[in-house]
Structure 1
């Protein structure tokens, strides 16, 4: 993917926005705007059409999770949302995924992790901070109890290969890593991922991981 990715930074701390700008522009990205509130993030997303929004959670007027939900639900917006927060909290992660965020990163991450996360989200993939992935998803899965009326009642019919791909998705593997592990091409991986998302009724990879654990598929 071209390095000329357009990024919007949403954070209520000006020093944090400035730091993000320096890191992202050094990587060749274009920071098209900055927002200090969730409401500003929604407005600027519509006006500036970024590829990725780096979204803080705790902001005045409208928090980043509500802003994320509004952005993702807008049919005219194609930007991916990377939630970047100081707080390693399960409720924030779950709320971010439910709102439609494609990534969740902690602010103690290094510059290269931020740069990689922006690339991953821009490519349409999902990324969760390594510190929270296994712990939070495991807790989420344990909290889900199948009921006759829930979507766990009728698990989707996945092929064996699709289940392999889904398992690696849940382990936060990229398409390239999945291809290497399964000895198949990346284009084939993309096809399997697309089929998995369709069968699960998932909007993206992060949502597919949540649904997979909810339905006991991984």
Structure 2
């Protein structure tokens, strides 16, 4: 019985790495390297032309995110093609950006030949695992999001307790206005603005206005409020 071959396209701008992968697959009868690309743009073209089963895609080629942009285009036009990112980048920004394109798996270039072979076979069978590194990044992101949600709800609650005057002063502070400018704009005494800012700090339980401003601007509170 003839063994079904997995047709592979390798996209990498490093010739040495392409040759290493080709040698790895050459020792297995169920793999066939049908094409090689040295850029993301070329990978998109060759994917359409050859319709491989699996693509091993580097990220940083002609640009920092070339492989990610290519993966997105390929997945949109040929969703049946499995894409495995094979890269040196283990930063969560690259990982999440890659998975958002619809890739199947994410491996680091220091993965062993056995790991690469197993990853391709798993992708071909729709059995790709969630790797420990990816699971940890997901857990960290979940914790970060939950903390941000809790912080946002807390800030919204505090803002709801501000007086209309305090809210206006806070908005002007977040716009970069100085206390004297705010007093002039609101046609009130400078001391009145100082008292209102002190009241704001007490409600936020923060030591200085700079910390409050940073928190509000990081969460884009007034930007969201303008859209309501």
Same fold (TM over 0.5): yes
**Unpaired runs of 5+ in structure 1?**
148-218
Q: Which has the larger radius of gyration?
A: 2
Taking the aligned partners of 2:116 and 2:17, their CA distance within structure 1 comes to 13
Greater share of residues in helix: 2
Match of 2:118 among 111, 116, 119: 116
Count of residue correspondences: 145
Higher relative contact order (CA 8 A, sep 6+): 1
SS of aligned partner of 1:59: coil
Please name the residue that 2:75 is paired with: 72
Taking the aligned partners of 2:104 and 2:83, their CA distance within structure 1 comes to 6
| Map 1:1-218 → 2, pairs under 5 A | 2-28=3-29, 29-60=31-62, 63-74=66-77, 76-130=78-132, 132-145=133-146
Cα drift, residue 142 of structure 1? 1.6
**Unpaired runs of 5+ in structure 2?**
150-228
Cα drift, residue 133 of structure 1? 2.5
TM-score (norm 2): 0.59
What is the root-mean-square deviation in Å for CA atoms of aligned residues?
2.1
Please name the residue that 1:190 is paired with: none
Q: 1:129 to 1:51 in 2, by over 3 A?
A: same
- Per-residue CA distance 1:132-183 (angstroms, 9 max, x = gap): 1232011121233498xxxxxxxxxxxxxxxxxxxxxxxxxxxxxxxxxxxx
Give every structure 1 segment of 4 or more consecutive aligned residues whose post-TM-superposition deviation is greater than 2 Å. Answer: 125-130, 143-147
Taking the aligned partners of 2:87 and 2:32, their CA distance within structure 1 comes to 21
Taking the aligned partners of 2:57 and 2:94, their CA distance within structure 1 comes to 12
Cα drift, residue 31 of structure 1? 0.2
